[in-house]
Amino acid sequence: MTAPIGHSLVTRLEEYLHSWGLREFHDESSYYQWQRTCLNRDQLLAFEELLKRRTKEGGGDADIEFYDLLAQPIILPVLYSQRYDYYRKIGVVLYRRIAEGSRVLDFGCGVGILTTFLAQEFPNIEFVGVDRSAQSISIAEQEANRCHVKNVSYFVRHIPSEPLPGSYDVVLSTQAVFQSEGHSGPPSMGWQTFRRPYSLQEQVTLEMQLGLAPRLDALQAVLQRNGRMILFEKTGHLGRRILFQRALSRRGFHPVHEPLAIAYHSIDEQVVDGPLYEVSQAAVGNSALWNEEPNRRPGDSLYGCSGRVARRMGSILMGNENREHGQLKSIRWGMCRISLGKWQEALAYLLFEADSGTSAILVGGLLELSILTDIFEQLMKMPAEQVDQFIADTWGNLLNESNEEERPGYENHFSSAQAIYMALPSKVLEKEFSFSGSEGKSMHLEFGKTMSLWYFYWANTFDQRQLVLVDYSGERMLRTYFEDSLKDLKAQIS
């Protein structure tokens, strides 16, 4: 039996990455141990210095020096190994999207890890890689020769001061067109919303300031009228995503497919990046796919706690009649009760109470009701010997937590906190503070009561949110937290 295409592609890609000397790591300590055996102190210091300069200067010469250094043969495999899973995930997606091209440009190709792989996979497609780091291009050429790949050419080009060679029916850019990673894009209209009003003048100014306009214009100039651009940039932040999408849209590009978020790990850190855009100026695109809402992962508003805090949260949330109960038997916990319900039009919860006294609760926004209902229904059907494992998988370490009193009854740091805050019933505000700074920066904190719960809410115009809820026993802790946060904020702005 032949291996499925997906499997053999990943295997080929992994072998190719290994041929560059790249290794896969899942934990920091083994990676840094390996790094120390490969690189000496001076090399590491030079790298760190350049990294600092690059962050401070936000691009320019330091950026070129940085990529030149990264392309040094001793340094390359070590530092690019941090991107092992990135190359594996992006490589597979690009492979699937590129098949119909005949001339492909990879802008900001770096040392050509992806470009040479794709060229090797598609010998009938002609690839061109450009980058402003001369050392990266020199390595890209050497590696293409080493792999005997003939259908790729590499050029040193600094865009926009030097023109791009040729014309293409596919243009690729992976983490090259939208630099200035520290900039989070335009702010939202206020701390209560994620919306950004459209102003052409502000859009143009920001595109110029962040170097996006000259790069996109240069790419558009070499793309054939019915060609496609495939772009994977650091646009995980909503403001950056909106700025980027609007930059594409105002140049007449439409998504050909739904933009695709890609998750990969960088050593032990999970990164969800992108999305990957495939856009075209041809009529087939669909502008309705330009979504300007914050990303939401199902379940991201769920929060768990156990013990006394869970029992008190449970008794407050269950005050509402809107709930379902079920009995189940577990080997470890004995007879248990599971309650599922909604609290007002703000929260959904699933409470687990064992006769032995153990309690745990999951609380989230109303959008999580379907996930909680699934858990409830699965538990109801489950034989006793599976219940223990399911409960342990759902609440994990919380069930053994010793400092349970320190935990709030609910906490949410995602954009989903906003809808919950808005839906909190009968809010009685006790204290609040709002601050407006330059360039649309503003933030707001408040502390108050919502029926029997106390709440703390913090929001700004760069999409950060924090909502904390406690029962009466946590009031002092939350009040102190509000005062401390206020002090910190005032110190920052004074």
Ligand X SMILES: C[S@@+](CC[C@H](N)C(=O)[O-])C[C@H]1O[C@@H](n2cnc3c(N)ncnc32)[C@H](O)[C@@H]1O
Chain residues binding ligand X by CB under 6 A are 67, 108-110, 113-114, 131-133, 136, 157-159, 174-176, 179, 215
Distance of closest approach, residue 451 Cβ to ligand X, in angstroms: 50
Query: Between residues 174 and 466, which has the closer beta carbon with respect to ligand X?
Result: 174
User: What is residue 461's three-state secondary structure?
Assistant: coil
Residue 175 Cβ vs ligand X, minimum distance, rounded to whole Å: 4
Rounded Cα–Cα distance for residues 411 and 361 (Å): 13
Q: Between residues 157 and 312, which has the closer beta carbon with respect to ligand X?
A: 157
Least spacing, CB of residue 177 vs ligand X, in Å: 8
Terminal CA-to-CA distance of the chain, rounded, Å?
70
Looking at the Cβ atoms of 277 and 303, the one nearer to ligand X is 277
Of 95 and 303, which CB lies nearer to ligand X in the complex structure? 95
Number of C-alpha atoms within 13 angstroms, CB side, residue 101?
31
**How far is the C-alpha of 104 from the C-alpha of 126, rounded, in Å?**
6
Question: Whole-number minimum distance, CB 159 to ligand X, in Å?
Answer: 4
Q: Are strands 152-156 and 465-470 parallel, antiparallel or unpaired?
A: unpaired
d(CA 312, CA 471): 7
What is the sign of the dihedral through the CA atoms of 324, 328, 334 and 335? positive
Q: What are phi and psi of 458, to 5 degrees?
A: -135, 130
Give the residue at shortest CB distance from ligand X: 108
Q: Return the number of the residue (58 or 294) whose C-beta is nearest ligand X.
A: 58
Query: Does residue 232 contact residue 274 with C-beta atoms inside 8 Å?
Result: yes
Report the DSSP beta bridge partners of residue 342: 348
Find the shortest distance in angstroms from Cβ 412 to ligand X.
Answer: 32
Distance, in Å, from the CA atom of 159 to the CA atom of 107, rounded to the nearest integer, reads 9
Among residues 174 and 359, whose Cβ is nearest to ligand X?
Answer: 174
Alpha-carbon separation of residue 253 from 211, 345, 372 (angstroms): 19, 40, 40
Spatial distance between the Cα atoms of 218 and 220, rounded to a whole number of angstroms:
6
Q: Which residue's CB is nearer to ligand X, number 114 or number 420? A: 114
Q: Which is nearer to ligand X, 152 or 468 (CB)?
A: 152
Q: Which is nearer to ligand X, 63 or 411 (CB)?
A: 63
Return the residue matching tokens 């502000």. 202
Q: Which amino acid makes up residue 231? A: L
Minimum separation from the CB atom of position 279 to ligand X (A): 17
Residue 245 per-residue DSSP state: H
Q: Phi/psi of residue 22, each to 5°?
A: -80, 145
CB closer to ligand X out of 130 and 328: 130
Residues 6+ apart with CB under 8 A from 45: none
Q: Report the nearest approach of ligand X to the CB of residue 163 (Å).
A: 11
In the complex, the smallest distance separating the C-beta of residue 176 from ligand X, rounded to whole angstroms, is: 3
Which backbone phi and psi does 127 adopt, to 5 degrees? -110, 145
Write down the least CB distance from residue 284 to ligand X, Å.
26
Q: CA–CA separation, 3 vs 7, rounded Å?
A: 6
DSSP secondary structure string, 400-458? G-S-GGGS-SEEE-STHHHHHHHH-SSEEEEEEEEEE-STT-EEEEEEEEETTEEEEEE
Distance of alpha carbon 118 from alpha carbon 100, whole angstroms? 12
Least distance in angstroms from the C-beta of 243 to ligand X: 17
Instruction: Give least dist CB 132 to ligand X, A.
Output: 4
Residue placing its CB nearer to ligand X in the complex, 164 or 417: 164
DSSP 302-317: -EEEEHHHHHHHHHHH
Please identify, using beta-carbon distances, which residue of 133 and 235 lies nearer to ligand X: 133
CA distance 337 to 374: 16
By C-beta, is 58 or 319 nearer to ligand X?
58
Query: CB 201 → ligand X: shortest distance, Å?
Result: 24
- In whole angstroms, the minimum distance from the beta carbon of 447 to ligand X comes to 42
Q: ∠ CA(326), CA(329), CA(332), 5° rounding?
A: 130
